Structure 1
Amino acid sequence: MLSDSDVSLLTYDETLGSKHARKAKEAPFVPIGIAGFAAIVAYGLYRLKNRGNTKMSIHLICMRVGAQGFVVGAMTVGMLYSMFQEYWAKPKP
């Protein structure tokens, strides 16, 4: 016979891929923020060789600010999107 804890473990059994898909569907701007962050970091590493006379610390600070700005922007847009879905797009009973 199954105990209560065994039943709860069976109902929440999901693979890593299905968990990520479910979370991405609940908050669609999180993967966009992560992808943008990774793209800005990759661009910063690519431009590291051709930065000209710019100091290394200034280059890294600019890349950090750009990456953080993209993530904060994606979080803000995601919050506004969820507020729109919750309060304005919901049909009134």
Structure 2
Amino acid sequence: MSSSYDENDSKLMRKAKENPFVPLGLVGCLAIVGYRLMKMKSRGDTKMSVHLIHMRVGAQGFVVGAITIGVLYSMYNDYIVKPREQQKAVADK
């Protein structure tokens, strides 16, 4: 059974190598959750449920944004950069 990746690599490490925006999304999500948890004591008159909903929406928004940027970057590489390189290789022959 042949594999294209090292068996010692975790799934997270493989994903991070394939798409560097995965760890960026994770770090951003954890940063937003940590920040909002620290601000929980000074939330004022805001209900706990509303504060938690805002925290969730912020964290999810960051992750979705990171995934979107990663997909756009991948599409740019696959459909713009690689065809140009292939055209240059054919032209050089």
TM-score by length of 2: 0.79
The equivalent residue for 1:54 is 46
Measure, in 1, the Cα distance between the counterparts of 2:4 and 2:77.
Answer: 28
Gaps of 5+ in 1: 1-7
TM superposition score normalised by structure 1? 0.79
- Supply the distance in 2 between the matched residues of 1:11 and 1:70 (Cα, whole angstroms): 31
- Structure 2 residue corresponding to 1:25, chosen from 1, 17, 23: 17
For residues 27-73 of structure 1, what are the alpha-carbon distances to aligned partners after superposition, in whole Å with 9 as ceiling and x for unaligned?
11011001100111111111111111111111111111100100000
- Work out whether 1:92 is the aligned partner of 2:86: yes
Aligned residues between the structures? 85
Determine helix, strand or coil for the equivalent of 1:89: helix
Distance in 2, Cα, partners of 1:79 & 1:20: 17
- Paired residue secondary structure (1:44): helix
Give structure 2 stretches of 5+ with no counterpart: 88-93
Distance 1:65 1:10, change over 3 A: closer
Alignment RMSD (CA, Å): 2.1
CA distance in 1, matches of 2:80, 2:3: 36
CA distance, structure 1, for counterparts of residue 34 and residue 24 of structure 2? 15
